[in-house]
Amino acid sequence: MNVEDQAVALFAKANPVPSLDLLEPIEPVDIDSLKGGSGRRGERTEPKTIRTTDFRPGRPWLAPAIATIAILVVAIPMLVSVTPLGANPTPAEQVANAFMDSINEHDGRAIRGMYALEHQDDFNPDGWVALTGINEALGFEYTDVDCVELAPVIFADGTGATSVECSWTVQQDLARALGLEGTEGTYLLYISDGYIVRAVETWHDTTSWGESFEQFQSWVQRTHPDDYWKMFSSPSEDRLTIHYLDFYMAVDPEALELWDQYVDEFVGEGGE
């Protein structure tokens, strides 16, 4: 017996399944029976969860692959066809994805149109136009967006909604100019009949934002003192103001022009 025959005999004895014909038939997997909600943490103070499970919808668990020992590595086709993740979003996930697209496009009017007439949001939906305007001036960009439907909820007034959590990483021009990392966070959206009734934004860490914004604020005060109070405003003043992560920003048309101009100037100077 030569060396090649000895190798074949050795691996034939080691293989627990000498022939694939001897395998028992595999029962088909019911993908729908494996669907359910997620157990992620998020802000849940007002709504009451009425159903939870351990699985995310649209994320089927895969049947274990069968491996056989061979002298050469051979790719064996999967026995179960799996749809790519996110290829079939639920109706609520579609609304959430459209919301995140509009956030990235700085389209506040589109976001305002996604809200139900009767909503549960503490934030006035009309403010989205101003908020996306300041975000555009600051160069906000959301990446690694992933929206997943969670369990339905019931609000204190007895109305219900489907919850969807969108995770993301956000970066903006001030932080980029200073070489700071982006920040991860989530939007928790509550959706009823295809409309948003509440949106809760959570940043996992505001260090990068706070540091970059404080440096920019000091820079404006030092280099453009006459325009400082045109851009930064307290809520007591009779001006259109956004309170965002402990900072007050004027967002009337005159202020937004200054934000555009001075953010570009700050970035051009490398944040100095």
Query: pLDDT of 71-124, one tens digit each?
Result: 233 332 332 323 334 468 999 999 999 999 999 999 999 999 999 988 888 778
Q: Report the CATH number at residue 221.
A: 3.10.450.50
Cα–Cα separations (whole angstroms), residue 175 to 56, 105, 219: 34, 19, 14
Domain presence at residue 39: no
Find the mean pLDDT for residues 8-37.
44
- Quickly state the pLDDT bin for 255 (edges 50, 70, 90): very high
* Residue 28 domain flag: no
Residue at 247 is within a domain: yes
| Dist. CA 173–CA 209, nearest whole Å | 10
**Domain range for 114:** 91-268
What six digits make up the tokens of 195? Answer: 């409309």
Question: 44-53: string of b/e by CB count within 10 Å (b at 16+)?
Answer: eeebeeeeee
Domain assignment of residue 54, yes or no: no
Q: Exposed/middle/buried for 103, CB within 10 Å: 0-12, 13-18, 19+? A: buried
For the ranges 41-50, 59-68, 256-265, the maximum mean pLDDT occurs at 256-265
Asked if 119 and 148 touch (Cβ cutoff 8 Å), the reply is: no
Number of structural domains in the chain: 1
CA distances from 68 to 25, 28, 57, 207, 255 (A): 16, 21, 32, 51, 67
The confidence score (pLDDT) of residue 236 equals 59
Grouping H, G, I as helix, E, B as strand and the rest as coil, residue 165 is strand
**Entry field: residues in the chain:** 272
Residue 15 pLDDT class (50, 70, 90 cuts): very low
Q: Determine, yes or no, domain membership for 223.
A: yes
Identify the band that residue 10 occupies on the pLDDT scale cut at 50, 70 and 90. Answer: very low
Within a domain: 47: no
Is 69 within a domain? no
Q: pLDDT (tens digit, 9 = 90+) per residue, 200-213?
A: 999 999 899 899 99
